[in-house]
A and B are shown apart, each in its own frame.
Chain A
Amino acid sequence: NAGVTQTPKFQVLKTGQSMTLQCAQDMNHEYMSWYRQDPGMGLRLIHYSVGAGITDQGEVPNGYNVSRSTTEDFPLRLLSAAPSQTSVYFCASGGHHGTGELFFGEGSRLTVL
C-alpha cells in the first residue's frame, strides 16, 4: 500500500526560487492537508482541502499556495522561497469525518539558503 507519498524527500533552494512539493494519496480520501515542522517544534497547519476544488487556509498560510484539481493530489507551492520557510513539510490525508485517522507522508525536508 502506497498510502501518502511525498516528493521530493530533500530539497535545497536559494532565496527567491520557486518550487512545488508534491503529495499524492491512493486511499480516495477527501481530506488532505499540509503541515510544517520547524526544529524542536510541533506541527503547524499551512493549508487544507476537503475535496477537489476546495481549499482553505490553516494557521500559517502566508508564502504558500495550494490547489486541489483531483482527489489524489494536493501540491504545495512556494512562489518565492525565503529562509524562514526552511522546515520539514508533512502532507496528511484522511476521511472526511472525524472518526477517521489521518495518514501522514514521510516528510519533505526543505532548506532555503
Chain B
Amino acid sequence: DAKTTQPNSMESNEEEPVHLPCNHSTISGTDYIHWYRQLPSQGPEYVIHGLTSNVNNRMASLAIAEDRKSSTLILHRATLRDAAVYYCILRAPTSGTYKYIFGTGTRLKVLA
C-alpha cells in the first residue's frame, strides 16, 4: 500500500498563508491524493483531492508536483478555526486495494 509522510506539526500566524507538505514517493499512476482535516473532538472532514493538476476549492488549494511524488495543501489565509490535524492519504479507484491509511498527520497550530 502506498504510504504518505507528513511533518508532525507546523505553526502559522493568523491571516498568513500555510503550506502543508506531503510526500508520497511510492504513489501509483491511478492514486488520487486526498486531504482531510480533523478539528478537535470531531471526526475527520474532507478538504480537497486531486490526481495530476492543481486544484482549488473554497477551503484550500492543492499543488501536486509534476512527478506526483509530493503535494502541498495551501491554506491561503489561516484562521484560528483552521487549527486542526491535517491528513494526506492516497485513494486508488481501480487497484483493488481499499486500505486508506491516514497516518498521524500534521498538527497545525495557528497563532493569533
Size category of the binding interface on chain B: 20 to 34
**Which residues of B pack against A, CB within 8 Å?**
30-32, 34, 36, 42-46, 49, 85, 87, 91-94, 98-105
Interface size class, chain A: 20 to 34
Indicate if A99 sits at the interface (CB-CB under 8 A): yes
Instruction: Report B-chain residues with C-beta under 8 Å of the C-beta of A35.
Output: 102
A45 touches B49 (CB 8 A): no
* A interface residues with partner B (beta carbon < 8 Å): 31, 33, 35, 41-45, 48, 50, 56, 58-59, 90, 92, 96-99, 101-107
Residues of chain A within 8 A (CB-CB) of B102 are: 35, 42-45
B46 touches A101 (CB 8 A): yes
**Which residue in chain B gives the minimum CB-CB distance to A58?**
B99
Given contacts A45-B102, A96-B93, A104-B43, 12 further A-B contacts (CB under 8 A): A41-B104, A42-B104, A43-B102, A90-B43, A92-B43, A98-B91, A99-B32, A102-B34, A102-B36, A103-B46, A106-B43, A107-B43
